[in-house]
Amino acid sequence: MKNLIEKTGYFLMIMIALILMGCGGSGSNNSNDDSDATETAQTTTSTTTTTLPTGPVLYDDFSGSLIRPDLWDENTSGEGSSLAIESGVLLATASNDGTTSGTASLSFNQQHELGYESFQADIKMRSASGEGTRKVVLSGFAYNTGLRNDNSSNIGEVSGDVSITSEGTVSYRVAYEDTSGSTEIVSTAITTVDATTTHTLLLGFDSETGTFGFQIDEDDPVTYAIDTALYPIVTKGWRSAGVYAGAFGESSGTVIAEIDNVKAKSASELSRTSGSVQYSVVEGALKAVIEETTSNKRLAFILPPHPFSTTPVTKLEADITITGYQITGDRSRTRAQLYMAYQPEANRDNGLDLISTAGSIFDGGSGLQYGGFAAHVTASDFSNEEEILGVGDVSIEPSLNQSYTLSVEYDEASNSLIQTINGQSITFDLSGVSNFNPNEFYLARINVDVNRLNNEGDSGSITATIDNVKVNGELYDDFSSGIIDPRKWIVNDPTQ
């Protein structure tokens, strides 16, 4: 993700591609990912819900010696601008030579800002010199009005920011991006403070009401309600967001700011406890519910691109329990699935050479079963033309309310893809796939879905729990935090 870029005296952020929020393309909806079966019906158990903690969660306190690339994208502009950690705080230095503005910015990595409804940071001006505007800003694109024509476009984005200048003026701003650039909707000063002491700035957005929130310290929040008739909320979620120091104007100037204790509050989109699709942490496990539906629905919990874009996933493991489901229809299917895929980066726009593997507990009409598959997409037009590398099953017959440990894995020693349930394995040899490269990891996710509802009268539902997720043999998330951690998961909600 590119970081915050100045526009009309304020930073706006260049968008990151939401490559994972509908990810899979070819290979993710293959009809051959489990063995077929015939109609069956099971009773659906009752469901319970829980409420996530409402307080902010610490994102980064800069306690390490280096800026963490798994949490932040960093960017500086202007000679003398820099970012560094010193004595447990981030020092952001922005320097303007009178002709080129100076900026020093940190942007949340994609997987994080999409899961938050608000974020905050402790800000202190260490020093400021020269003329012009010198400030620290929390800024982000909050939603899109439906004009986005590609994943890297700013068009249609509504943004908000809250800032504090070196003179102590605290302000907020809301703007809109269209084909002619940035249009300011509102810009208002809130208060004046001593900028040389530490203050907490907060920026938030409620996508249900279309209201921005801006706050400093313990003062009452200041809100601004968007006219959603003019700026409708079509695509929810922070497109990008972050914090930056900036020095602007026609005169030279420098600002050095301390930034610390960045926190975020989980958004309702990352936990849903009502409606046709639900997901939350209940009694130390992730609970996923798809209530009875007559249309295909897939709820996906996706591992984020960082750090796994540089540290490929070779094994994904989790404890899966199906606690209730029902299906009607000749080919209807309900399942919980571990899915992993590899693909050359150059082909991710055309779908070619995606090699995928999955292991599932499912019912396609003959009662609960376990099945595994591996496939290689051989067409570049997302037509799902593929070579099936293998489909297999095991002797275990899964039961309701019984926990099973599932894993999908690439084994380098045997050059094969392996799916396992409670120690019983299915192996697919990759020796005939000449262009497979395990370093070209693309995607890992856990799916809970109801699919193949193709005929009138077809329906299905499922309730499942997920726990003790391991990545490459190491514990990744046991959900003991009580929340779906936005630093660990992207949730692809089919109702959003």
Q: What is the mean pLDDT of each run of 10 residues along the chain (496 residues)?
A: 31 25 32 31 27 58 87 90 95 91 86 63 94 90 75 81 95 91 93 96 89 93 93 81 90 93 68 84 95 95 75 95 96 96 81 90 94 81 64 92 97 95 94 84 94 94 98 95 79 79
- Order of strands across the sheet that contains 240-248: 72-77, 102-108, 240-248, 133-144, 157-165, 169-178, 181-192
Give the span between the Cα atoms of 433 and 58, in whole angstroms: 44
Give the span between the Cα atoms of 154 and 187, in whole angstroms: 20
pLDDT tens profile 174-230: 999 988 888 999 999 999 999 999 999 999 998 888 999 999 999 988 999 999 999
Do 310 and 324 contact (CB within 8 A), yes or no?
Answer: no
Give the span between the Cα atoms of 178 and 331, in whole angstroms: 46
- Residue 197: closest CA among 283, 250, 257: 257
Do 344 and 338 contact (CB within 8 A), yes or no?
Answer: no
Q: What are the tokens at 61?
A: 């306190």
Tell how many helices (H) and how many strands (E) occur in the chain: 2, 32
Give the pLDDT confidence score for residue 275 in this predicted structure: 83
In single-letter form, the type of residue at position 369 comes to Q
Give the span between the Cα atoms of 422 and 392, in whole angstroms: 15
Give the span between the Cα atoms of 482 and 476, in whole angstroms: 14
Q: What are the tokens at 249?
A: 């104007």
In single-letter form, the type of residue at position 115 comes to G
Please, which residues have CB within 8 angstroms of residue 310's CB and are 6 or more apart in sequence? none
Residue with token string 């002619």: 180
CATH code of 4-15+54-266, in short, is 2.60.120.200
* ∠ Cα 182 97 171 (to 5°): 40
In single-letter form, the type of residue at position 266 comes to S
Give the pLDDT confidence score for residue 234 in this predicted structure: 83
| Beta-strand runs (E) in 252-284 | 253-266, 277-282
Sign of the alpha-carbon torsion through 304, 305, 307, 313:
positive
In single-letter form, the type of residue at position 309 comes to S
Query: Environment class of residue 346 by beta-carbon count within 10 Å: exposed (0-12), middle (13-18) or buried (19+)?
Result: exposed
pLDDT tens profile 389-433: 888 889 999 999 999 999 999 999 999 999 999 999 999 999 888
Give the span between the Cα atoms of 420 and 112, in whole angstroms: 31
Evaluate if pTM is beyond 0.95.
no
- Residue 452: closest CA among 297, 288, 276: 297
**Parallel, antiparallel, or unpaired: how do β-strands 157-165 and 474-477 relate?**
unpaired
Q: What are the tokens at 56?
A: 């902010």
Q: Where in the chain is the domain with CATH 2.60.120.200?
A: 4-15+54-266, 271-492
- Domain at 271-492, CATH from 3.40.190.120, 2.60.120.200, 3.30.930.10, 2.60.40.10: 2.60.120.200
Spell 103-116 as b/e; 16+ CB within 10 A means b. bbbbbbbbbbbbbb
Give the span between the Cα atoms of 325 and 127, in whole angstroms: 61
DSSP one-letter string for 308-326: HTTS---EEEEEEEEEEEE
